Amino acid sequence: MTEGLILGTAGHIDHGKTTLVRALTGVDCDRLPEEKERGITIELGFAPLQLPSGLRLGIVDVPGHERLVRTMVSGATGIDLVLFVVAADEGIMPQSLEHLAICELLGVDRGVVALTKTDAVDAELAQLARLEVEETIERSALAGAPVVAVSALTGEGLLELTAALERVAREAPPRTLRDGPAWLPVDRVFTMRGFGTVVTGTLRGGPFEEGAPVELFPEGEPAPLSTRIRGLQVHGESTKRVLPGSRCAVNLHGLEVQEVPRGSVVATPGRVAPRPHIDVELSLLPAAPRLRNAGVLTVHVGTAERAARVRFFDRQRLEPGDRAFAELRFAAPVVVVEGDRFILRGYARTSEGGWTVGGGRVLDVAPPRSRRSRKSRLPELEILAGGDGSAALGVRLRRAGGRGIREPDLLRDLRSIEGIPGVRVGSDRWIDPEALEEVRRRVIEAVEAHHRERPLEPWVGLAPVAAHVGPPCPEEVIRAALETAAKHGDLETEASGYRCPGHTAQAGDPEQVRRLLERLGDAGLAPPTVDALARENKLEVSQLRALLEHLVREGELVRVTSEFFFSRTAIDDLRRRLVAHLREHGSIDPSAYKDLVGQTRKFTVPLMEYFDTEKVTLRRGNARVLRGEGR
């Protein structure tokens, strides 16, 4: 037995749905003056039903009029089981069939049939009506549902109906989605004096809590409004927390009624968004007309209504009674969640379903924007339709490839990422294991290529690897692939970067190296600039600089500035003479320093700063003193 189930009424206009609800609960769901005057239900009505066992059902009473099917669908999308009402004096009528079809398309397959107004017919007509009802529901998702004859006026059959509802409720699983973000499609909005704006609906996904921040997506508006839950009620009783699957009233802070039209959605911040197009699994009713590719229909999802163009993935038309995968491209974006059910209505009456032609289930709210053929996506859609959450997550990770998917984006597109078959990289990104393996192979190739192209560099940094791998791989994926390669011994790593195992930097032309060292050795403490050296050796500056840096690492040269490279011998000789001078004289001023170097200011100043940096000397005023014992 499941607590908090929602029971929805369904049936033709004036077959006694509201009267029956009043007889069962004592609550009159017709609250509007127009409803009282005309004797029909125009808006959704709500009432609690306390069953003998203690189980409480929330009842949603829907209108039966043909022109109010949108309102009926708004209520039916949030129900777990149905009370299907047929009047014994009229039997099955057009809206009976359409409501029955809508329930089936929404996945509502548990319920009880109430054969009402039995006081208005004799026994023979009542029996004929029962036979017609039983024959009709046997061809529907309600096949096998109990049929109870009842009169709301005399009370006959009410105990039997309550007992039947008890039995069905004990066995019925909750149909309303109860995982992921909390979201509430708004089916009613009003103002309460002293409280402000209140919205009602059936809560889906997760719980709502008093004081919690929420986002409101106004119907037809692209951007959400930030607000918070000021108060919560279930069946007129205040509560601090509402569980998914409950009918509830939500008092929203700081919003006016006109800002929250019906069809809006209240949701957990950052977890849902208006969608311009979605991928779905849809079915046509057997009595529906053939649906051609790119046809336009009206889509009812949650409490919203949208025109949408239907594009199939593998055919040009869908025959009555058939199922297909399709894209729905909305005339205006609509908030929809993966797993939502929807109804399709056309613009011509069918023989059995009114204007309702079909419906289905949302598979992907963020389909890929790729140039892949539509047919190539069919295997993915079959997996998404299969109900295996982990496999469905795998589809999305494989689709993302080497770029992976950030967790906030996953949570905005999916109800849950529990059981995700991926590898977490960085702080919030997930990647398919095979995609990470492919990136690992590419970063190894990048390191190998860098060694070939720049043999003078012993280590490869992240930036050159990323440039070689190229987009769309983000930095955290490349870093994870490098670390994985190092962990498995395919690369070596240290603070300087990465390298292939055993790789050492090597100069390309030994004779060129010999000439360069000889030239700088002869120059002593007055070396030529890098540009001048490049011209002398007929090399590109970048090539020469790489060779000079290699010789610095090898200990043959010393880089004093970016433009001056000195021979190690000249620098070591100057260091010895400088330390000796300081030990003898205690300090050295710029003039004496210039004499010690034996060169102009052009070379003396960089050398003074170099030995400061090397912590040989320490500047005091305009002079230098020995720092420690020098080196």
Q: How far apart are CA 546 and CA 552, in angstroms?
A: 10
- Tell me the C-alpha distance between 105 and 344, whole Å: 9
Least confident among 102-106, 345-349, 578-582: 345-349
CA distances from residue 239 to 2, 176, 182, 251, 385 in whole angstroms, order as listed: 20, 21, 16, 12, 37
Residue-wise pLDDT for 495-523, tens only, equals 989 999 988 877 767 888 889 999 999 99
Lowest mean pLDDT among 270-279, 322-331, 506-515, 565-574: 506-515
Model confidence pLDDT, tens digit, residues 192-235: 888 889 999 889 999 999 999 999 999 988 889 999 999 999 88
Here the tokens at position 245 are: 């699957």
What tens digit of pLDDT does each residue of 156-189 get? 999 999 999 999 999 888 888 888 999 999 988 9
Reported confidence tier of residue 355, pLDDT bands at 50, 70, 90: confident
Domains for the chain: give ranges and CATH numbers: 6-171 (3.40.50.300), 183-267 (2.40.30.10), 274-385 (2.40.30.10), 403-506 (1.10.10.10), 507-631 (1.10.10.10)
Which single residue is written with the structure tokens 């700063």? 609
Q: What is the pTM of this model?
A: 0.78
What's the pLDDT at 99? 85
What average pLDDT does the segment 425-435 reach? 96
- Per residue in 30-73, pLDDT (tens digit) is 443 343 343 433 345 678 888 888 888 888 877 644 444 566 56
Residue 413 banded pLDDT, cuts 50, 70, 90: very high
Torsion of CA 52, 53, 54, 56, to 10 degrees: -80
Show Cβ contacts of residue 122 under 8 Å, excluding neighbours closer than 6 positions.
none
What pLDDT score does 588 carry? 96
Q: Between these two residues, 451 and 29, which has the higher pLDDT value?
A: 451
pLDDT per residue as tens digits for the range 97-124: 888 988 898 889 999 999 999 999 999 9
**pLDDT given at position 629:** 53
Task: Give the per-residue pLDDT at 206.
Answer: 93
State the pLDDT at residue 212: 97
pLDDT of 376 over the 50 cut: yes
Q: Which pair of structure tokens corresponds to residue 240?
A: 């601090």
More confident residue, 55 or 149: 149
pLDDT-derived band at 365, boundaries 50, 70, 90:
very high
Q: Which one, of 564, 555, 597, lies nearest residue 578 by Cα?
A: 597
| Coil, helix or strand at residue 123 | helix
Whether residue 606 has a cis bond before it, omega within 30° of 0: no
pLDDT of residue 68: 47
What are the tokens at 466?
A: 């990323």
Identify the pLDDT of residue 31: 46
Short-list 375, 70, 408, 389, CA closest to 271: 408
For residue 566, give Cα distances in angstroms to 281, 381, 518, 556, 580: 73, 67, 11, 9, 21
Spatial separation of the C-alpha atoms in residues 230 and 228, rounded to whole Å: 6
Q: Could you give the C-alpha distances from 600 to 557, 566, 590, in angstroms and in order? A: 21, 15, 11
By CB neighbour count within 10 A (0-12 exposed, 13-18 middle, 19+ buried), where does 356 fall?
A: buried
First to last CA, the chain: 84
